[in-house]
Each structure stands twice: as structure tokens, then as C-alpha cells.
Structure 1
């Protein structure tokens, strides 16, 4: 069940800009808030506690409640900014305490990372922090000043293409770093 909820949130996140762009003619903002809130609540109740998961769920539920109560179409456009802020906080907090996110992921494949790999994963986590910061700022700028079509194009396509490009470039760099060691 929790995989289904996780898939629902993933699809909602991926399709959200298009749902807002095309769905506003048929649905009220409070309905988007109800659907998103239901998914976040189900996720919070069905997944094990991870660092930051509770505050993210509470912040998302607060956003959904605000969206539901205000019924504001403009507020709908702030959701991608919220998600970028969540990711920035998650990656940034991992740099301050505990193991950086990229190192945690790398250790799933290789539990005994050498010191140079640990430094590399820390740098990768910093790059992702920068990405989420810039992505959130662009999404906020488009929310405030751009037409809905531009907002949809960026948040529904360009941001994911940039993320994919960053994954690909990092993978290529990782292969070179591995080759040198």
C-alpha cells in the first residue's frame, strides 16, 4: 500500500504543473488541495519515520489546508517551490549532521567507501543543494511574474530535463573519478 501511495505522490508531483494548467477549467483549487493533502496524509500514516519526513508532511499538509481554505488559484503555483524547498532542506541538513544524502545512496552499493569517495559524495550533495536552490528560485519567480504557460513549461518539463542532465553529468564525472582510483 505504501508503494502505491508513494507512486501516487510521485505521479502527482510529475503531473502537477500540467494538472494545474489544464485542470483549472474543470476543478477548483480546494479540490487540488484535498487530493494533495490526502496523498500526503496517507504517506505520513503509512511510511516509517525517516529524518525530516514528519516536518515535511506537516508542512505539505499545512500548504494543502491553506490551499483548501483560500481556494486561491495563484497559491496552486507555489507547490513546486515547496517541493524544491523540501529537497534543499533535506540535502542541506544532511551536510550539517549525519551522512550527506549522496553518500548514503552510494553506501547502498558500496558500504566501504574510500575517503576520496566520501569527499566526492559530499560535493555531489552540495551541487544538488545548489540545484534545488536555483530551481526553487526560478519556480518562485515564474509563480510571481510569469504567465501560467511559462510556469507549466518550466515546472513540468524544463526542471525535470535539468534534473536529468545533472544526473547524467554527475554519472559521467563519477565514472572518471572511479577510473582514477
Structure 2
């Protein structure tokens, strides 16, 4: 029974990732077929299932509550413009996750690095803190651009940025950081 529940929680989590990745295109293509209220119900159902199916961490609960509040607001307002704010919410949640890790305990990138290399040297710990700051800057920038596009740009521009360009920028950041890390490692 526990294995089934864990499998369902992973599946719901994967569903949220897929929905997050495809969300801008679903909004762009679905606006003529679905009301914003329907989007709110579908997205809210996924988040509610995520919160109820398994043992979410306090952080996951916090993000889930904010996502559900967004879905409730979207459902009540039934506003197509409000649909565009979901990527901003996700960027702000990630900003909060990475930023708060710098203030208390271990920076997020260090936590991730310790999954594969539990004993990090002091230089690597300093480096992971710097990379965490880099991600804080990226999520701040991404939230600001997504918000500006949500407010002032045509839907096609918003879709292009939030559905493609933002992911390309993340990929470039990942790749650039990986190259820098390899170069630093080769010097030591």
C-alpha cells in the first residue's frame, strides 16, 4: 500500500513538472477552448492531489498552498490575464527556495552537490554558495520578465518567453556552470 501511495505521489509530482513545462503552450492554445476557471480547476486538482498524496516537506506544502491560492483566485476571477501569472509564481517560489537556503542552513546548490559528493572541500562549499546566489539572480530576473510580459506583452510573446526562452536560459546557466565547475576541478 505504501509503495502504491509513493508511486502515485511521484506520478503526481511528475504531472506537475510536465504541466509546468507545457503550461504556456496550453494557455496559448487552450484560451479559445477552456475558460480560466477550467484551468484553475485542472491545475488546482493536481496541486491538491500533490499535497494530499504523500508526505510533502514543509517547503512543498508552502508552495502548494500558494499554488492553490493562485488557483482559487484564478477560479474566482475567471481572468485570462491572470493565467499568465503562474510562471511568475513558480519563479518566485524557486527564488524563495534558493534565497531562504542562503539565510538558514546549507545553500540549495550545496545540498544538491552533496547528493553525489557528501564530503565537499571548503572551496567547493564556497563555490556552491556563489552558484546559489547566481540562481537567486536568475529567478529574480525570470520573475520580473515574466511579470512584465504578463502585464504588457501580447500572449504570443509571453508564450515564447515563458515556454521556450526561459528554459533555454536555464539550460545555458546549467551548462555554463557545469563548464566552470569542470575547469575549476581540473585546476585542483
TM-score if structure 2 supplies the norm length?
Answer: 0.94
**Unaligned ranges ≥5, structure 1:** none
Alignment partners' CA distance in 2, 1:46 and 1:17: 26
Partner of 1:23: 30
Matches within 5 A, 1:43-58: 43-58=50-65
List 4+ stretches of structure 1 deviating above 3 A: none
RMSD value over aligned CA atoms?
0.8
Counterparts of 1:9 and 1:47, CA distance in 2:
14
| Among candidates 69, 86, 89, match of residue 79 of structure 1 | 86
CA distance in 1, matches of 2:35, 2:70: 16
Instruction: Look up the match of 2:103.
Output: 96
Structure 2: give runs of 5+ residues left out of the alignment. Answer: 1-7
Q: In structure 2, how many angstroms separate the alpha carbons of the residues matched to 1:158 and 1:77? A: 15
Task: Quote how far apart the aligned CAs of 1:54 are.
Answer: 1.5
Q: Aligned to 1:31, what secondary structure does the other structure show? A: helix
Per the TM alignment, residue 23 of structure 1 is displaced from its structure 2 partner at its CA by 0.1
Structure 1 residue 2 displacement after superposition:
1.1
Deviation string for 1:71-110 (max 9, x for gaps)?
1100000000000000000000000001111000100111
Please state how far the C-alpha of 1:51 moved relative to its aligned partner.
Answer: 4.1
Change (3 A) 1:69 1:53: same
1:97-142 Cα deviation digits (max 9, x unpaired): 0111100010011100000000000001000000000000000000
Distance in 1, Cα, partners of 2:162 & 2:55: 29
Per-residue CA shift, 1:7-35, capped at 9, x if unaligned? 11011100100000010000000111111
